[in-house]
Chain A
Amino acid sequence: MESADLRHEIEELLSTGEWRKSVARLQILWEKHASGPLAGFVVTAYTRLRHQLRLTSHRCAIVRSFTVEPIVPILKACGFRWGIDLSIQVGEFHAYAQELLDKSSSLYAFQPDTVILAVDRRDLLPELNSSRTEAIDRVTSQFSGWLRAFRGHTPANLIIHTLECPALAADGVYDAQLFENEAWAIQQINHNLRKLAGEYRGIYVLDYDALVARHGREQWGDERKWLTVRLPISAANLVHMAQEWMKFLAPLAGKEAKCVAVDLDNTLWGGVIGEDGMAGIQVGPEYPGAAYQALQRALLDVSRRGILLAVTSKNNPEDALEVLREHPGMLLRPENFTALRVNWNDKAENLREIAAELNIGLDAIAFLDDNPVERQHVRDALPEVMVVELRADPMEYARAVRDCPVCERLTLSEEDRQRGHYYAAEQKRAALEQSVTSREDFYRSLAQEAEIAPVDIFTLARVAQLTQKTNQFNLTTRRYTEQQIAELVKCAGWRVLSIQVRDRYADNGLVGMAITRDQGDVCEIDTFLLSCRVIGRTVETALLASLAEEARARGGRRLEGWFLPTRKNSPARDFYRNHGFQLISENAAGQLWSFDLAEGGLQAPEWVRVLVAAERA
């Protein structure tokens, strides 16, 4: 549908108060036609709907050397589309250095969640043809000072831009004759920026040079706007800057797809298997099958970020499985998919089942389907699901996946890389559970080993990630950044523990963590959570027993913990009750439970072998 028609439809839906349908169409409008001219309309419409929607608030400050104001409404529209209500503060023109260095600046007073440092190379390095090594050192040490000050002043995230190479070298073609030429110097600086950022937690690099190159160095900017209003980006490219920022802000605001559910016919391959047969469908290295192979490659890349793949397709299961197993053009095979729903059921129902099977929320599923009617149905029936708006041309499918901000990750742990394997092992475990008669026999047969250890530099990233992502078995749902946890463990009385679980099928990796705080003879459990991967296998009891054991050893008399209910954490609701805790207080936020350590009786199950690791430095 054309942009103007969609707009009219949205205006009518808004005036009649049909907010759910309005949002569904606003998402389509923005994904298909995102642009500067449209941003005002989309932001105004979402602002009217704001109170009906469960939006995640995120405070974003932009400190800059150039004009960014025209990007702000576009960035806000991008945020709304992915369920994020962005409060954006723009720093004073060219005052980024003072604002970063001065603890009392308006930047820190704003209390941002994320700060974007956008500096144009021409402002930092107007000349590059004098001493190149001197320039590299100077710019690197400037950034080093800004980053150090920033980290000292705030736990917020920081996004820094790499510097872009000019479209034309100052020395003309002679530049290319030099071993250490202009582009070399800029790449050295960018290399140093990546290294600097890597020294801190929560500081990320946006490859602005690559972004400019992707859109063409000559096309990216509009010299008139640079020379008149210090805007280095042309009108048409403002949306690309905003979308690139969004790829950082979505994961930082916790908007991440844990699973991409894909349709089969005309999405993963061209044609309809039930009608065209194995020989008739299109997928392979040659056009038109190449477009579908490109999509499969994009999905494989996404799955290597720890995002699970699932199928929901209206087909005969035997037909679809035959393609997945045997078609020579397929890059994706049955083992790449963690959940398969090939049947004639309603897709919304299938997505609900997939969410339940994978133990994830519907709001962690991205849905990919070529059929606009199916997409519309899922948008209307399950507004939480992130529906990717595919264009009619299959050659654009791969790009839609690669550009999807909720499929971005800013850190990847070994667990993320291996996630597909963990779930494959889980399927074997489920088969075993059905074959053994009692639950205890099942637990015994798993031969689980739990290693409980204080958090250290190797596990910090994963532990912080778990607090950000775990929604179901999470007693208090308190979110911590790496930086915050690193600071917590330095405070007297605070302990942060992680638990890694192995069993006969797989090393499940680091799947749980807890934070405790000693206050007198009471040890309070600040955070206690377990990844959905191991819920229901009693390792949580092992972790809780370990907390009790340690607290007792430190002279504690009571172990206390809050259960703070959310929309999602009902699996954790009876955790304390089931482990012999007494309810001692209750208010609107939740329940406080207490356990008398003198009583004892809190022990790891006999079928879990617990290894308590000593403190690693």
Chain B
Amino acid sequence: MSPDLFSEVCGIAADVFAVDAQTLGAASSPEQVEAWDSVQHLNLVLALEGKYGIRFEPEEMEGMKNVGAIASLVRTKLT
């Protein structure tokens, strides 16, 4: 994956959760990030959809378990 897209997704997640982007990595998940609750998960999904003009299927929303998985999913949608 291009490092640019990954760091961009990290940046968007950091904005949504109001944390420093440096603290997020591919393995960051709702268990580790305190602000990452179901409302913020929805906000993250909407932020990504808004930013990239993509749309996630309901089933995909449940599979977005950590930042790395989310970034790969975004990438498949963009290619």
Contacts and interface: CB of A to CB of B under 8 A. Distances in A.
A333 to B, nearest CB: 44
Contacts of A227: 58
Interface in B10-32: 12, 14-18
Contacts of B39: 69-70
A37 B57 contact: no
Contacts of A122: none
Interface string A207-248: 000000000000000101101110100111010000000000
A570 B38 CA distance: 52
A41 B16 CA distance: 8
B75 interface: no
Contacts of B53: 236
B42 A36 contact: no
A537 B10 CA distance: 63
A129 B65 CA distance: 43
A73 B18 CA distance: 11
Contact of B18 (A40, A222, A228, A234): A40
Contact of A228 (B15, B49, B61): B61
Nearest to B43: A70
B42 A229 contact: yes
Contacts of A238: 46, 50
- Residue among B43, B49, B57 with the most chain A CB within 10 A? B43
Nearest to A69: B39
B55 A222 contact: yes
Nearest to A233: B46
Interface in B22-79: 39, 42-43, 46-51, 53, 55, 57-58, 61
Given A228-B58, A228-B61, A70 B46 contact: yes
A38 interface: yes
A231 B43 contact: no
B15 A38 contact: yes
A41 B61 contact: no
Contact of A224 (B12, B14, B55): B55
A236 B16 CA distance: 16
B15 A40 contact: yes
A35 B57 contact: no
- Residue among B46, B50, B57 with the most chain A CB within 10 A? B46
Contacts of B16: 40
Interface in A8-44: 35-41, 43-44
A37 B49 CA distance: 9
Nearest to B41: A229
Contacts of A44: 15, 18
Contacts of B55: 222, 224
Nearest to B59: A228
A229 B38 CA distance: 11
25 contacts: A35-B50, A35-B51, A36-B46, A36-B47, A37-B15, A37-B47, A37-B48, A37-B50, A39-B15, A40-B15, A41-B15, A44-B18, A67-B42, A69-B39, A70-B39, A70-B42, A224-B58, A225-B46, A227-B58, A228-B58, A229-B42, A235-B46, A235-B50, A238-B46, A238-B50
Interface of B: 12, 14-18, 39, 42-43, 46-51, 53, 55, 57-58, 61
